[in-house]
Structure 1
Amino acid sequence: MIQYRLNRLFNSKSGNCFDVAIDHGFFNEAAFLQGIENISSAVNTLVDAGPDAIQLTVGQAHYLQSIAGRQKPSLVLRTDVANVYGRELPRALFSRMIDQPVEQALRLDAACVVVNLFAIPGQPEVTDQCVTNILRIKPLCEQYGMPLMIEPLVFRPNSEAGGYMVDGDPNKIVPLVRQGVELGADIIKADPTDDVNEYFRVVETAGRIPVLVRGGGKAADRDILERTYQLMQQGVRGIVYGRNVIQHANPAGMTQALMAIVHDGALPQDAYSLITIQN
């Protein structure tokens, strides 16, 4: 049954997936709301652009799932909420899972659920909470045939790079990705390495589990297209981008450009032209 839902995520022609994440409001950070202040408008814009999936929360999924028709993107449901992204961290950090996560996903007709696996310097308790969340949700995913996307995130020290800055060191990313696979991931969603050419190590350690690459912070158009192309050449099965799409001046054009790379193998310069055409 898990494969049946995976079939709704991965494009039937390319076998790859482009998931647009707009679940950022879950994390109580004002800066994360840029481009998704009006979530209904954001969802409609993305549905018209046609990515494979849209990542939403339990409180916002209805904006996607209430749209009529069979052609809309699949729902990836965020199942955990955390307070680890601020420039100034609170006294106590947490990563909490919603109640009955898989049952809620089923009621919302989600094709997949996603949960974090944080590695934050000096915060082993948060990693413990993440592992506990995964251990709790995995048997439910197996019971109900729901794919589990695990999101391993290695943070830089907040004192060094406050405000949700990830560490692109492959020697830190690879073991955390491997832990996610060992915990039962059906999909891995991981950050790009600082040196994009080393990303094959992440794909290798994931084995048969498909790897989708996170977009990370906002980047220039040509940079994000070039990076996406280079990552796709190393065996990744797609991307999960949020701010680089929804905060773009032309979200539909950027979606089409990224889809061309992910599904058609377009060169970055050719994909870039789709952004201007959409304008």
Structure 2
Amino acid sequence: MTPHPTRYRLNRLFDARSGRALDVAVDHGFFGEPSFLAGIEDMPAVVATLVEAGPDAVQLTLGQARHLQAVPGKDKPALVMRTDVANVYGNPLDEHIFSHHVPFAIEEAVRLDAVAVCANLMQLPGRPQIREMNIRSLMALREQATRYGMPLMIEPLVMADNVKAGGGYMVDGDTAKVMTLVRQAVELGADLVKADPTDDIADYAKVIRVAGGVPVLVRGGGRVDDETLLTRTVAVLDAGASGIVYGRNIIQHADPAGITQALMAVLHRGVGVSDALAILRERSA
């Protein structure tokens, strides 16, 4: 049976032996939030560090993808391209909240030799219009992605009001809410799903099941300590996740290359938490 055309690109995202992927998200500047720039002010240097560290993919915007794709040779991370921009992370929030996709995103992703594109599906309390904007964007992207054989990664984000912080949104890890939005992403035609971990990580197998065979890559979210990050990574992989998409937990780490190596060992060699932490300790010795 002939593989679907999207499989050709996904073959460059997922490791051939483990079938898993580490995608390092460095698309934070797209969202216009000053705090998101910590650690990524110098994008050519950031991309150079990641290329040397060797994750499976780097997630960039159409304006920054050139730093990765200008690197010569075959042995470099694949490109996942972020296709939508929103202003939902501000603190305080802007009076007008929006989310829009780049109209020519799929053609641009083809020109940039991306292996997939990524777009949000957000559920924000009291803001149903944002979810509608996302659904309209995803339907438009799906039509073009099908035409060009470009895998579409949908990012379901269940958000809770960050009342204590005085504005902005934080992730809501309620299992039922995460499952429902992941399922909607699948129904909208996701080739890949990038989903948050659940508050009760033991529930993550339910998220994998509701995705119905569509590969689920787990978001990293805000910074946590190394042991917490690695423990959570092992747990979601054991639950059936096909990979991880981590950003700040790598690019804001004291040793981005080291944590990348530790995570790659967990994903592709089945290394446990203690051995992954040992990789980090050996690098700092």
Give TM-score, length-normalised by structure 2.
Answer: 0.96
- Residue 250 of structure 2: SS of its match in structure 1? helix
Q: Deviation at 1:73?
A: 0.3
Match of 2:204?
199
C-alpha distance in 2 between matches for 1:32 and 1:273: 29
1:140 and 2:140 are equivalent in the alignment:
no
1:13 and 2:13 are equivalent in the alignment:
no
Pick aligned residue for 2:66 from 62, 67, 75:
62
C-alpha distance in 2 between matches for 1:267 and 1:25: 33
Q: Contact 2:161 / 2:168 at 8 angstroms: preserved in 1?
A: no
Q: Gapped runs of 5+ residues in structure 1?
A: none
1:36 and 2:45 are equivalent in the alignment:
no
C-alpha distance in 2 between matches for 1:266 and 1:251: 18
1:94 and 2:98 are equivalent in the alignment:
yes
Q: Quote the sequence identity (%).
A: 53
1:215 and 2:220 are equivalent in the alignment:
yes
C-alpha distance in 2 between matches for 1:231 and 1:156: 22
Q: Deviation at 1:158?
A: 3.3
C-alpha distance in 2 between matches for 1:160 and 1:207: 37
Structure 1 stretches of 4+ with a deviation exceeding 3 A read 160-164
Q: Deviation at 1:265?
A: 1.0
Pick aligned residue for 2:125 from 110, 121, 137:
121
CA RMSD between the two structures: 0.9
Q: Contact 2:57 / 2:77 at 8 angstroms: preserved in 1?
A: yes
Query: Could you list the per-position Cα deviations for residues 115-147 of structure 1 after superposition, in whole angstroms to 9, with x for gaps in the alignment?
Result: 000000000000000000000010111110000
- Residue 156 of structure 1: SS of its match in structure 2? strand
Match of 1:270?
275
Pick aligned residue for 2:248 from 239, 243, 246:
243
- Residue 136 of structure 1: SS of its match in structure 2? helix
Give TM-score, length-normalised by structure 1.
Answer: 0.98
C-alpha distance in 1 between matches for 2:126 and 2:117: 28
Q: Gapped runs of 5+ residues in structure 2?
A: none
Query: Could you list the per-position Cα deviations for residues 75-124 of structure 1 after superposition, in whole angstroms to 9, with x for gaps in the alignment?
Result: 00000000000121111111111121100001111000000000000000
C-alpha distance in 2 between matches for 1:227 and 1:99: 36
- Residue 118 of structure 1: SS of its match in structure 2? strand
C-alpha distance in 2 between matches for 1:228 and 1:57: 25
C-alpha distance in 2 between matches for 1:145 and 1:199: 30
C-alpha distance in 1 between matches for 2:152 and 2:271: 29
Q: Contact 1:253 / 1:277 at 8 angstroms: preserved in 2?
A: no
C-alpha distance in 2 between matches for 1:114 and 1:268: 29
Q: Contact 1:113 / 1:148 at 8 angstroms: preserved in 2?
A: yes
Q: Which amino acid aligns with 1:33?
A: L
- Residue 199 of structure 1: SS of its match in structure 2? helix
- Residue 20 of structure 1: SS of its match in structure 2? strand
Q: Deviation at 1:202?
A: 0.6
